[in-house]
Structures are given as C-alpha cells and as structure tokens.
Chain A
C-alpha cells in the first residue's frame, strides 16, 4: 500500500498520541490504533491563531486534508438520525434508521468521495451530484422531482482561498459604497443614489435617504446585506468555513459544535447518534486551511500541434463574443492573507468577533502562489474567469438552465452565480446540474444575461467555435 510521506508522518504522530492515551486510561474499542474511526478528528486541539509559519500551515493543512479524505464512521458520529440536513439546526420529526440516504443525505462518507476530479478537492461527475433542499419541511424526499430538491453538480475547490479573499474585498467595497451614500445623504439632506461596483463589477444601485434608510430595489446580483457569497452554484455561501459546517452536516451527519453544539441547541448530541462533540472548531479550521490553500487552477496548453494557436484565437473569441462580460478573466486581489475565522460570517459559523484571535494563512508562502500574475500595483490578478455575481440564466427561448423549481436562500430558481471557468478543462461535465456533456452544449444553454454571448458563439464559424473550446480546455487543475 502506497502511503504518502505526509500521511506516514501523520500516522506516526497519531500513534504516539494514542499510545499515550492507552497508557493513561482504560482503552475503549474506539481508542485502538486500528479502530474504525478518523484519527485526524480532534487532532487540532486548539484553533490556530496569529500568522502561521509555512511549517505550521503545512501541519494544519495536512490534518485538513486527512479530514477531507476521511471516510467518517459511526465511531466518528457519521449520520444524523435525529436531525435534518438543514443549515439551521432542525430536528427530524421521526428518527431515521439508515446512516446514509442518497438524496436527502447523509449521502457521502467523505468530502473527497465527491470532490475528486481530477484530485481531492476537485469537482465531481454526475454521479456525485447533490440534492439541495432547505431541509426544514419535507426533509425526506425519495423522488428526484425538482419540486423537492435542486440537483447540483459538485464544484471544485482549487483556488477557493483566493475566491473567498476576492469576495471579502468586494463585500468591503460595496459596503463602503453604501456608507458613502448614507454619509452624503445625511450631509446633504437629500436622497443619494450611487452605483455599486466592486473590482469593476456592476452590482446595480443603492439609494440612501437622509434618515439613514437605504432602498435596495435596484441591487443586481448580490444579497441585500451587500455580502458577496461566492460559494455554491447559486452563490449563497459566505465562506469556506460556513460551507464546511453546512456540508459536514448535510453530507455526513457530522455536526460542528460551532453551530450544532449546546450553545445553540442545548445539546452536545443534537443529531441523536450517541456521539457528542463530533466536529470541533479546530477540526473545521483544519478543513478550511486545507481548502483555502489548494492551488489555483492554471492555464496549460497541451503539446499538440495547432492547440496553442487555436487556444490563442479562442481566447480572443472569448472576449469578442462577450463571454468576458461575466466570465472576467481576472479580478485584482489586494492581499493574500487569509483570515480564519473570517469577517463576514454570522453567528452559527465562527467569525472574527467570536474568537479571541484569528489565524492568518499567508497564501504567499505557498509555492504555487509565486506563479500568480500581478498588475503594476502589485495586486494579484486572480485568473478565475468569473465575476462572483449572480445572473439570470434563462429567457423565453433558452431555458435549459431554468430546470429548478425551488428558490434557494432568497435567490430565484433561474439565477446562478457566474461559474468560474478556471479548471473547466478538468471538470467535465458542466452546468449547475452537471448534465451537459460538452462545453459546446453548456455554452448554447446560456440564456438571460448570457444570451448575447451565447448567440455570438452560435453564429460564429465552426472553426472559431472550435478555437474557443481549445482555449477553455487549457484552463485546468494541476493538483
């Protein structure tokens, strides 16, 4: 069996710790080194604080990776017989016998069971689709009928740390603009209407009244609190930390203390599986650290005759067709310091006001970060091919992406966040339901705000379309 060196080191450390435990306490079955439990759980005994050195960050991300790849067991607390998949702790009306349930979840033994294309942290094939539902009422559904849930493809997480950092800076920019409008309105005694832009992306307008009220009717593609939520197909999750806490419960029935613990539910075993304290804040931190430091996807042209030329032409077409109006090739990022917990999460996911000190993961310490392009001001140009904004994706003629019946977290059924195309060459199939087998098909499925670019593509000559595909296939994940 080929065990990576990191894992071997990890295993030796764990073995030492467990050996110590065995000498000081009567061993239960779960304490044996070969016990069917995840040894990385609880290994991060304290949440990290301060700016981590490269070595400390490596140790933390190693644990995070182990947790991401772990197949959780009943000894860990997998399953949630007494709780639903809802993001707010919600008790089930009737306990469920089976630990796993393909549609309503828990539907996976590990994170990597779905996020594995082309490597851990990657996307998932159609078979790894998830079924998103609020999980408050009708928590159990045994039908694939979209009236009960929205079937979604598994997104990749490469570069996710940069995405969250972009979102934080954009949120700050939008909220500063709101403050500016309010200040002007109070100073002038008149209603002030200002455009909302962040990193060059247009998010509509905000109107502020002298009494401190703001009218939010003209917002476009962002939530009313002006927080960019960059994760999920819908763009409704604020942070890797929030998504991690949600997903651990939804997909594995592993409940994090910071939301499902006694502070918020009155119980250390909210899901009623007999396991208390399933996921500590330190465990979540390790998982976040690993995801946040996953390398950004890159651009790599296969060494095949003609591909480079085609890709270059295709990149020009990408702009000419109007694709870049939403799939922005790069967004500038001021800082590579990833704070965890972050600033925009709210109670139920730890944020920087809920802890004495936060940790800083300096992404600049990582080898892959050296290759990130920078502009003349020294800002990193994050090549995500996205805008972190939500758009209407259907119209009366083109409505293939309007196949959902449920809105999600106040976002209508046919509105989705622009998919970041970095890594698209490694994450077939495509679309929010993962049901478009080719790039050509998903391009032609763009309606609504994407209609103009889609029509330009459709009208182009076949070799120009082909060139565009050649370009998109150069956007790959290299783990």
Chain B
C-alpha cells in the first residue's frame, strides 16, 4: 500500500502544477468568509484520543436537545468520554457552550467514534446513535437534553463491532427509520487487520407502534466502511445505500452501492448494471446537486486526491456509472495548500454547503494524517474550497483562517449563532476541537456580512417529523438550488436542524418541498434572511426568531 501511496504522491504533485484551479486562484471575486477560531473561549474543550482503533472516527453530532432550536453538540472523545455541550451563544455574537449533564454514565460515552442525530421514535425529541468500538448505543432524547439508553426499548442489539459509519432513511410505508451501520475491521478475525472487514448491518423496523429492530440484516461483503449514505442517486424516489470503503484493509473490495427494494434484502449493484470498480481510502461521502437536475454529485474523501463524481450522461439511464470531475472543477485537494509539506493529503469529513452565501456550492474537507504516516503530509490543513462563478473551486482555507496544524477528522458545518452565516466545528485527533465563527468578509473597517440566506426547517407530521429524505428546492431568479435532508455521510458526524441555503443578492425565494413520500408541496414564498418553518399541510410558511438579545 505504501508503494502505491508513494506513486500516488508523485501523481498528486504532478497534478498540482497543471490543475485548472492553480491558474485561476486569483480570479475568485466573491467573499471569503473569515472563520475565527474560538473553541476555548466558547467553553469547548474536547480532544479525540486513543490508540489505532481511534485513528479513524472522531465525529460530532449537532442537533437541538433543549427545544430552543440552537444547535447543541456532542463531540466524540475516542478513549475519552464524549461530551455534550448546550449552545448558549447569542444571536450573531461570540460562541458560548456549556457542558451538560445528560444523565448518562461516563462508561457509556467512552469508546465513541462518532454520532448521528435523528428522531427514531417520532416523538420530536432528537435521538442519537453513538458509533462505538464495541456496542453501539442508541440514546433516546428527552426534554432538557436528557437522554436514556434505548437499545432495549428499540430492540437494537448494538453489536460488538468497530462501528464507523451510519445512515438512515424512512423507507416507504415505514413508521420508523431504516438504519444502516457501517463497520470497520473485524479485530477478532484471523489475520486481522488486513482482509478482515466486518460486514455492515441494516436495521429495518418491524411493523408495530414502537421501534423494533430485532431482526437486523447483514450487508455482506463488508469492505471496511468509513461512510454510508442513503441517496436517491437516480431520482427514482427510492434511495439506495452508498458506501465508501477503506482500501487500506480490504482485499478485493471496492466502493459499494446497495440497491434498496422495499421488503427485500438489498442487493449490490454490479458491473453489468453500470457500477464501476473504484478503490479508494474512502473516508467520507458528501452529496450535492450542482445543477439541481435531481442527479446528485458526490465528493469522496481519501488519501491523496478527492473524488468528485458525476453521473456519466453517456452511460445510459439508471446506470450508476460515474465520471470524476474533481480535476476539471479544481476539487482534487490532493496535497496541502499551506505549510510546505508536498506529500499527499489525507481527507476525512467532507460536506457541501454555501459558506459564503453567494449561491455557489462550497466544499469543506477535514484533513489530517492518520497518525504519523510518513508518506503523507504531516501538516495537512483542512480545505475550504469555495465555489466560483466559473463552476470551479478555489482553495481559500488559508485566507479564511482554518489552515491549522491539526489532524482533522469529523466536522460540523452549522450556523451556531443563528446569524445566517455557516460556522465550523472540526474534531481533531489528539488535539482540542476547533470551533470557527464565521465573521463575514474582511474589510479595512472590520467584517461585513455575506450574502443573503434562508434557513429552512421542515415538519412532515407525525411520522418522520423532521422529513428525512425530503428534497428542498429553492428558486431565486433563474437559479434553483436543492438540498436533501439526510442522515449519514461525512465522517462519523451528523447534524439535524435548519437547512441553510445561500441566496446571494436575492431578497426573496420560492421554496418547494418534495416530502419523503414523494409528494410535492405548493410553492412557499419567503423573504431572505429568515429562519423558515414549513409545516406540511399549512398554506403559508412560518418564520422563527431566536430570543432577542
């Protein structure tokens, strides 16, 4: 693998000089957000620690646990206990987080690699799935950030695996979500760790009024998954399960796409169906839809270059054949852009978002050496790839202020102080997590706000209230932007809450929602710079306001 990595490094270096983005770096004219690191002053002190089992993972979950709609946090600690923080930040102001006692025992919160928030039992309190080295825990959320273990109540075994990934979706007709758990190396298998990947798991709810996951399915073969995502890749209305796998440990493996059919076990897409073999050190999946055509693009982080996959138009309808557009879009992010280390990068969490509110999709990638791999960059700053008006990405991590010498893993891109500008939490290995506040664009007199925005919260009703699987379509002028409500992807990190959309100079937007059951809403007319609540069945959107400061 190391020899291959060296070759990869060479290839990466040679790519650098010729990348389309290199020439155009100076042509980026939109706002570069200034991201100010203030974790310590905000009261967040959490490092992701531990031995080689914790070389991977290092996630976080962002969700509202006390009903004030501000995003609260859980940050994994690996060998240290995960910590909960309640968000007490003032609107538009500096961050303030306070540790919160959730009623859980410290031993339940150790060996946590990551977490994903979702409301499993439809009670409008967000639950959490903790991915652990050993038994995964399901925490049922209650009022006031109280949690109780719900493995027994939901009949979820939790297993003994080394779990590293998760995704969830409400399958059609189901009262409760289907949950996929991604597992890594089977440490008890002969010959471990190489070629001993643990199967993944699919938890489908049994029929009934309470969540019951007592009959899990194995997804075999497993290839050491590090990110899972239920995704409607072909706009069929039927999400399939995409898995990115770590080639470091599998033998004969590849990336996977499981075809999900209601009431049937999933089946892997095959080469004859158009699925092309791809092997990467898959760390994280991010989804976007650049042109809002309903056919998403995916960023796959890895060691070396990031893949940016677009469905190949020439492959034929409903064939999951992708071509890599990372190079033409300037998104390979294959080696550090700062610090002088020319070795290849190691990418982990990734997420698309509009971080400068200019309507163009940006891409964040957490970066960091696995531990001390000599063929890969040691100083490997996180990427902030801002989408340009020419449809290519521009690396602006240094200018933004996130080019720290830390080993990034999971991350959350969220508006923590409810000012409409996305902020950033990065979980670092063996280093305190970084929490960056988006100050806006720098000027000679201070910082000015970025473009307009809208944040949207969906209410789907009694089942799947937060509308996981819904598609939000936001129209401004001739431009349509879409966002899919998803649980999964990234690297061991998930978030729930308002969905953010940058609006640039538009002061109005028309929103339509395709609810999880496929029904389209009527258009909702909203003004910019508002937190919008769309409640299924209501004629008009509501607005939401944080507590006046």
Contacts and interface: CB of A to CB of B under 8 A. Distances in A.
A262 B525 CA distance: 28
Interface residues of A toward B: which range?
Answer: 35 or more
Given A90-B477, A263-B31, A214 B545 contact: yes
A89 interface: yes
Contact of A356 (B444, B508, B546): B444
A270 B9 CA distance: 40
Contacts of B185: none
Contacts of B503: 347
A353 B421 CA distance: 14
Given A86-B477, A89-B505, A259-B505, A214 B529 contact: no
A354 interface: yes
Interface stretch (B49-57, B115-123, B205-213, B536-544): B536-544
Interface stretch (A17-25, A32-40, A178-186): A178-186
Interface string A233-270: 00000100000000000000000000100111111000
B69 interface: yes
B439 interface: no
Given A217-B539, A348-B504, A410-B525, A212 B30 contact: no
Interface string B506-519: 11100000000000
A348 B540 contact: no
Given A136-B477, A225-B527, A217 B544 contact: no
Contacts of A178: 545
Interface in B52-77: 67-69
Contacts of B450: 347
A182 B449 contact: no
A262 to B, nearest CB: 4
Nearest to A346: B507
Given A212-B69, A212-B546, A213-B542, A266 B505 contact: no
Interface in A336-390: 346-348, 353-357
Decide if the interface of chain A is mainly helix, strand, loop or mixed: loop
Nearest to A225: B527
B187 interface: no
Contacts of A262: 29
A452 interface: no
Nearest to A207: B542
Nearest to A209: B542
Nearest to B359: A264
Contacts of B446: 356
B506 to A, nearest CB: 5
A53 interface: no
B357 to A, nearest CB: 7
A264 B477 CA distance: 14
Given A182-B548, A262-B29, A263-B29, A348 B506 contact: yes
Interface in B403-427: none
B506 A88 contact: yes
Interface in A244-301: 259, 262-267
B505 A212 contact: no
Interface of B: 27, 29-31, 67-69, 357-358, 388-390, 443-446, 448-452, 476-479, 503-508, 525-530, 533, 539-548
9 contacts: A179-B548, A186-B547, A213-B533, A217-B539, A225-B527, A225-B543, A347-B449, A347-B528, A355-B445
